Structure 1
Amino acid sequence: MNLKKYTSEFHYNFQLAIPVMIGHLGHVLVGLADNIMVGRLGAAPLAAVSLGNSFVFIVFSLGIGFSLAITPLIAEADGEKNLDKGRKLFQHSLILCAILGLTMFLILLIASPIMRYMDQPPEVVALAMPYLKIVAFSMIPLMVFQAYKQFTDGMAKTKYGMHATLLANIVNVILNFVLIYGLWIFPRLELVGAAYGTLISRFVMMIFMIWILNSREKFKPYFKWLHLDEIKKQLFGKIINLGFPTAMQMLFEVGVFTAAIWLAGTMGTIDQAANQIALNVSSMTFMIAVGLGVTATIRVGNQKGLRNFSELRRVSLSIFLQVFIIECIFAVAFIALKDFLPMVYIDNDAVVNTAASLLLIAGLFQLSDGFQVVVLGALRGLQDVKIPTYITFVAYWIVGFPICYILGKVLGYGSQGIWIGLLAGLSISAVLLYLRFNYLTNKLIEKGQNGNRI
């Protein structure tokens, strides 16, 4: 195999991916700032953030997953040089995302009392309830932001989302300092302060994104509002047909991690806090893979618009190789730093020791987790979403979670058993998704394309 034809793409892949990585990492860093600052208050507040965010992550996964459908549609229109098609797709997507953001907010408000019946520590539930109700409202600005961000990603202009999330993180950290601990004229609000910091920072992120894009001549034609006769049910249907399965894929993956949080919560505050630390650390490295996954969606979508399927496969394989090398490095880092990383979050020996054992396993599933999200991105660029949805459901819920429950709860391996189950689910997903990609791309090439445009 001639590796150079794949490694030669690494630089351009990174050019597209790095702003996306930083942008998605920004979402995680909001949680990281909350976790580190709240962790100084004790194990129960940290576990409460974990429990509250577990609800947020479920609806957040639906929203983010749905918005990811915008990117391949815009990338295909951009590859075709069809501005009017891109404009109409974006405007319809923005309407759907705004409606979805409001729906997510209402779902979280209605669902929040459920945590009282989940066999979680009472002191954790008491702290988590007010935190969740405030963060729930941030779903509205977050989804409007996502519509704009996924549009710019599809246009291969990934830096704007990065700038917005970096600004949001600066705002969040400042607000956390003054509202969690109570500085200057501000009262000490503890967890509620962290929630207000997240809410305000997401409004800042949305407003900045709208302002910066409207100030760029390249994007102005896309922001010309639709006339009533331009609003088409067919376009809404096209976006929903791609967005709904994508949202389900995200829901199945985030759902199994959320279920792991809840399962760890039934084992006590120590296990739940340790589980949150391991998840948060893993989420940060996962964002690197997410960036490359979006790159795969953009580049595959462009090549699909050009109908150059041989080049589509070559570019995709270059991204798969790139993420595998990166995740190998992360796996080594997790194992080497397993005793140090938990101490960044909390000064509690029991929590630190438990989290260190989880990071050993997390180091191994870096490979599976990173690889599967990039292959999913490539399949999304092909607009193949239904079969991958079935694959993720089987991998996470037929294989992964039963192993989590049996090893963690039934056989008594605790959090370690839960994470072994997560590793199994991610590995099955990675293998099956790659087989799907391999089948589809070979089939496209065999249909007479052989790398030629048609």
Structure 2
Amino acid sequence: MHQTNSTMEKIKQITVLLLPILITQLGMFSMVFFNTIMSGKYNSADLAGVAIGTSIWNPIFTGLSGILIAVSPLAAQKFGEKKKDDVASIVKNGVYLAIIIALIVLTAGSLFLNELLLFMNLEQHVHQTAYHYLIGLSFGILPLFLFNVLRSFIYALGKTRVIMVVLLLALPINLVLNYVFIFGAFGFPELGGAGGGYATAITYWFILAMTLFIVIKQEPFSQFRILKNMSGFDPKGCAEILKIGVPMGLSTFFETSMFAAVTILISKFSITTIASYQTALNIVSFLYMIPISVSMALTVLVGYEVGAKQYKDARIYSWLGISMAMLVAFFTGLLVVLFREQVAGLYSNEPAVIALTGSFLIYALFFQVSDALQVTALAALRGYKDVNIAFVITLIAYWGICLPLGYYLSHFTEMGATGYWIGLTVGLLAAGIALMGRLLLIQKRFKIRASISNA
């Protein structure tokens, strides 16, 4: 990263950081995409099982990863302040937290996973697929969390292309492993949808190994000597990450758990409805990789500029990122609405699933724009390390608006499952507007602070 002086230079810097992050996010998402689309081609019951398993795993992973991703804005600010030793210390403490969190998740899963699935009262085949999918995925939890810490460190230095290359190398491996384990190719057992969990776990270990090699051997990462001195657990350093990371993680958790709750509520409908909802959600989630990538670049850039005390540049980056994400979301949402049946056909061979998925996707345009607004406004606030009020806003929007409104429309009107899409869209829009208001307030405070320090 470097100092920019004009709006065009800032757009160029956002783009330089954004494109590799986008390819990386699409690569990460493609693993879920391969699981979903191959399970759908296997049969709709396996697709429903993977959908349930994914709906349980996503809020846990994204919420806890949100804690670890706090390494990125913290390290970016220290990098902007030219404090190399502090950057290394933050990453080391992030590694310790990743190990602790992974162990907690594995312990909780062994105790409560089967009971949770029994509580959902699923059809037997769907239950078994979801259970074994998550068991397979559990073997990749530790490498995935460690990778997220190292990825946050690499992003904080502005070297986003590195992770892009790692993910591009991993994708063919994941694709082949999915085919092998789901369909039982080359003499391997035919595991159906559950095989996707094992394929993804193996891929995570490969990704971690590649990233570790780069951090240890390649410049400029090796000069930080991140893994040279891992002795000595630092409670204060970990507490600093948790102070920023826990509200970040909870904000992310409440969003993804809201989607998971909708999936669980929809599980009371037919297998066709479950499969159609999951397919539609998978499509809009794929497109969501664009605004989420903008948001990740935005957090790093704003954090860096705040650390360098370039508050005007931080403000300009914030609004450029939000504008870019919403513009792209509008056009991608429009394309999905226009070609909804063709896109739905990629996921399933069953006409009923394709038709119902298409009806859900009619709401994709409004959903995409609302989601892009709230995720980028939230990312800009994280660059300022303002996370506590944002957490409260997202909690109220997701669980006080999205879910209750969706439930009411689905169960007390004739909309059925479609009502959840309207509820989600309204709640995300409310979150975006409130987060924008908070961002304006924080930027005003920093502007006043800069005026006082220059007086």
TM-score tier after normalising by the smaller chain length: over 0.9
Query: What is the aligned counterpart of 1:294 among 288, 293, 296?
Result: 296
Q: Secondary structure at the match of 2:187?
A: coil
Query: What residue in structure 2 maps to residue 50 of structure 1?
Result: 51
Query: What residue in structure 2 maps to residue 281 of structure 1?
Result: 283
Query: What residue in structure 2 maps to residue 168 of structure 1?
Result: 170
1:453 to partner: Cα distance: 7.3
Distance 1:120 1:363, change over 3 A: farther
Q: Secondary structure at the match of 1:414?
A: coil
Distance 1:227 1:115, change over 3 A: closer
Could you list the runs of 5+ residues in structure 1 that have no partner in the other structure? none
1:227-266 aligned within 5 A: 228=231, 231-266=233-268
1:447 to partner: Cα distance: 3.4
1:270 to partner: Cα distance: 1.0
Query: What residue in structure 2 maps to residue 84 of structure 1?
Result: 85
Distance 1:416 1:102 in 2: 38
Distance 1:112 1:232, change over 3 A: closer
1:328 to partner: Cα distance: 1.2
Q: Secondary structure at the match of 1:40?
A: helix
Distance 1:275 1:80, change over 3 A: same
8 Å CA contact 1:7, 1:318 repeated in 2? no
Matched, 1:103 2:104: yes
8 Å CA contact 2:182, 2:193 repeated in 1? yes
1:52 to partner: Cα distance: 0.8
Matched, 1:350 2:349: no
Task: After superposition, give the CA deviation of every residue in 1:210-247 in whole Å (9 maximum; x if it has no partner).
Answer: 11221213212322533656x43221111110111111
Q: Secondary structure at the match of 1:302?
A: helix
1:6 to partner: Cα distance: 4.5
1:202 to partner: Cα distance: 0.8
1:16-31 aligned within 5 A: 16-31=17-32
8 Å CA contact 2:216, 2:227 repeated in 1? no
Query: What residue in structure 1 maps to residue 63 of structure 2?
Result: 62
Q: Secondary structure at the match of 1:339?
A: helix
1:179 to partner: Cα distance: 1.9
Distance 1:187 1:304 in 2: 53
8 Å CA contact 1:327, 1:367 repeated in 2? yes
Query: What residue in structure 2 maps to residue 396 of structure 1?
Result: 398
Distance 2:273 2:125 in 1: 15
Q: Secondary structure at the match of 1:340?
A: helix
Give the letter for the 2:350 counterpart: N
Matched, 1:200 2:202: yes
Query: What is the aligned counterpart of 2:333 among 331, 334, 337?
Result: 331
1:120 to partner: Cα distance: 2.9
1:354 to partner: Cα distance: 1.0
Distance 2:88 2:113 in 1: 37
Query: What is the aligned counterpart of 1:216 among 215, 218, 227?
Result: 218
1:11 to partner: Cα distance: 2.2
Q: Secondary structure at the match of 2:56?
A: helix
Matched, 1:225 2:233: no
CA RMSD of aligned residues (A): 1.8
8 Å CA contact 2:322, 2:372 repeated in 1? no
8 Å CA contact 2:102, 2:141 repeated in 1? yes
Task: After superposition, give the CA deviation of every residue in 1:102-125 in whole Å (9 maximum; x if it has no partner).
Answer: 222222333321111114333311
Distance 1:300 1:372, change over 3 A: same
1:370 to partner: Cα distance: 1.1
Q: Secondary structure at the match of 2:424?
A: helix
1:199 to partner: Cα distance: 1.1
8 Å CA contact 2:130, 2:194 repeated in 1? no
Distance 2:424 2:129 in 1: 28
8 Å CA contact 2:38, 2:193 repeated in 1? no
1:320 to partner: Cα distance: 1.3
Query: What is the aligned counterpart of 1:187 among 163, 169, 189?
Result: 189
Q: Secondary structure at the match of 2:218?
A: coil
Query: What residue in structure 2 maps to residue 408 of structure 1?
Result: 410
Give the letter for the 1:356 counterpart: G
Query: What residue in structure 1 maps to residue 118 of structure 2?
Result: 116
1:282 to partner: Cα distance: 1.0
- TM-score in terms of structure 1 length: 0.95
Query: What is the aligned counterpart of 1:439 among 438, 441, 447?
Result: 441
Of all paired residues, the percent bearing the same amino acid is 27
8 Å CA contact 1:286, 1:370 repeated in 2? yes
8 Å CA contact 2:68, 2:97 repeated in 1? no
Q: Secondary structure at the match of 1:345?
A: coil
Q: Secondary structure at the match of 2:228?
A: coil
Q: Secondary structure at the match of 1:218?
A: coil
Task: After superposition, give the CA deviation of every residue in 1:84-110 in whole Å (9 maximum; x if it has no partner).
Answer: 111111111111112112222222333
Q: Secondary structure at the match of 2:409?
A: helix
Give the letter for the 2:178 counterpart: N
Q: Secondary structure at the match of 2:341?
A: coil
Q: Displaced runs of 4+ in structure 1, greater than 4 A?
A: 4-8
Q: Secondary structure at the match of 1:104?
A: helix
8 Å CA contact 1:278, 1:359 repeated in 2? yes
Distance 1:72 1:325 in 2: 25
Distance 2:419 2:150 in 1: 40
Task: After superposition, give the CA deviation of every residue in 1:19-76 in whole Å (9 maximum; x if it has no partner).
Answer: 1111122221101001111111111110000001111112101222112201001100
Task: After superposition, give the CA deviation of every residue in 1:330-352 in whole Å (9 maximum; x if it has no partner).
Answer: 12111111111110000111111
Task: After superposition, give the CA deviation of every residue in 1:179-204 in whole Å (9 maximum; x if it has no partner).
Answer: 21122232322223222111111111
8 Å CA contact 1:47, 1:273 repeated in 2? yes
Give the letter for the 1:108 counterpart: G
Distance 2:111 2:25 in 1: 27
8 Å CA contact 2:76, 2:157 repeated in 1? yes
Distance 1:109 1:391 in 2: 33
Distance 1:187 1:115 in 2: 24
- TM-score in terms of structure 2 length: 0.95
Could you list the runs of 5+ residues in structure 2 that have no partner in the other structure? none
Distance 1:255 1:311 in 2: 34
Matched, 1:312 2:314: yes
Distance 2:125 2:19 in 1: 40
Query: What residue in structure 2 maps to residue 372 of structure 1?
Result: 374
Distance 1:19 1:107 in 2: 35
1:361 to partner: Cα distance: 0.9
Give the letter for the 1:103 counterpart: I
Distance 2:21 2:315 in 1: 22
